[in-house]
Structure 1
Amino acid sequence: MPKGNGIYSNDRDVGAPKDGSILAAEETRENSRSVPGAFHIPGPRQEAGPQAGLRFAPAEGGQSREQRNFDNEADIVVEGATVHHDDVVHAMIRDENCAAYIYGRKFNLFILILPCLAVIGACIAIPFVILDRARRWNQDNSHSRSESRCEGIRKVVSSVSTSESLDDTSSPQNRALEWLCFHDELELPSNEQQEITQRYTLAVLYYSLGGSDWTVDCDFLSAAHECYWFDVTFDKDARVKGVTDCNEDLKVTRIMIYWNNIYGTIPDEVQSL
């Protein structure tokens, strides 16, 4: 059975020395107390028992066979305790080194991860920056193209409207020019002079006769061609209002707008039709 110090010994007795000195076995057991879990493996012809005791040196400095056997067994105890003690110490050192190594590894990984995160962030941010710049570039170019196109349209409509009416922001001419330049979904190119003139003239008519208050808008200012700016009403009979006739060249030849809550003055531009 184990004693309080965790060391096993046999129950054979050895004579105590005359001077009462104690062999190193007691010191070994005392030292082994600081090593939890250290065990002595009994040697040959040795049985562990609860009556384990200290061995004493033989008288006259001589050694008996049992004393020599005990020394060998004591050596086993010391070596066993020392081995276990060394194992514990070395294990603690290895654990500490492992912890330091892991901490160092984490620190190194953190240093390595920072550039990787920076690269990933750049890879994510660069496309957005490029797309944003492309969007702004498209907007700028679109605005520039619109301004250039509007200048061309203004030159075309200047043949049927005065510069004063085109510059007056409250005039039907200015509103028609603004719509043709920036809001017309058809987006006629500025070199289509005949189409621009006809479309502009009908837009001036719309604004001059209070088109926003018409009972039926007749599809004026829609994306369709001007020859399709009309509507059919069914009162007592079918009636067509708006552009009612075009020739083979898609030139407007007749306009019918009546009983449609119109007001204002017919503009001079209709003479160009």
Structure 2
Amino acid sequence: MQVELSAGTVEYADTGGPGPVLVFVHGLLMDGSLWDGPVAELAGHRCVVPTLPLGAHQHPMRADADLSLPGIAALLTEFLERLDLRDVTLIGVDTGGALVQLLMADGEARVSRVVLASCDAFDNFPPGLTGKTLFLTGKLSPGLFGVFMQQMRVKAVRRLPIAFGWLTKRGDAVSARWLRPLLSDAGVRRDTVRVLRAAAASPGILLEVAERLPAFDRPVLVVWAREDRVMPPEHGERLAALLPKGKLVEVADSYTLLPLDQPAEFARLVREFTAG
């Protein structure tokens, strides 16, 4: 499915149905397929999964689109409005969790619950070796950025700590697919460089957001990978303590991308949270 938003065409999946509405938000250089495993486990819920312009999108955005983190958060809000989604459980991981925090800080009325899975928070932006390397490559021209990213075709390179190696234990085949639009479409490369440059220009943005999070008075489940090497586990504890209705659950045998490494367990936690 597709929807025309102010920034351009955004693709999304929607399982339909009358059940609780879950909206899933992915991170940088990822698309909505990140959530395929948990979505398959969440029968009875309406699962809506947009692919935002974060580097693995199929349709380049308009030249004047705001691709800063707040700009993409505003696009997510617009998406909720255009689909008229209400009483939403908003679920984010990696940089998707940062976008969710921005909506929380703004008190988005359509969101009734939140799941923050291992994600950028506080001063961990860009996050870890992966994020720092990616932000550095954003200084390149889109053409040179594309040349640099060609290395990611090689599995051994993708599995390095500076790439996807510390983000997922089991999801290499999926992460290889995420890179195809960027490697084949100059417009997507242009968008990705713009996203990276805008993010690098606002290193303290999540510290500012964290100051406003205590005002978010709706239930929040914080799910953190116990073995996370990119998102510090203590940040999960800090987020849960910061939120008036926050609860922390740690998951074993996973890196940052819990939907890839532990899809069934992640879905179980979401199901129990929305039922509660």
Considering the TM-score relative to the shorter chain, is it more than 0.5? no
Q: More relative contact order in 1 or in 2 (CA 8 Å, sep 6+)?
A: 2
Short-chain TM bin: under 0.3
Please tell me whether Structure 1 or Structure 2 has the larger radius of gyration of its CA atoms.
Answer: 1
Task: Tell me the TM-score normalised to structure 2 length.
Answer: 0.20
Q: Which has the higher strand share?
A: 2
More helix, by proportion: 1
- TM-score, normalized by length of structure 1? 0.21
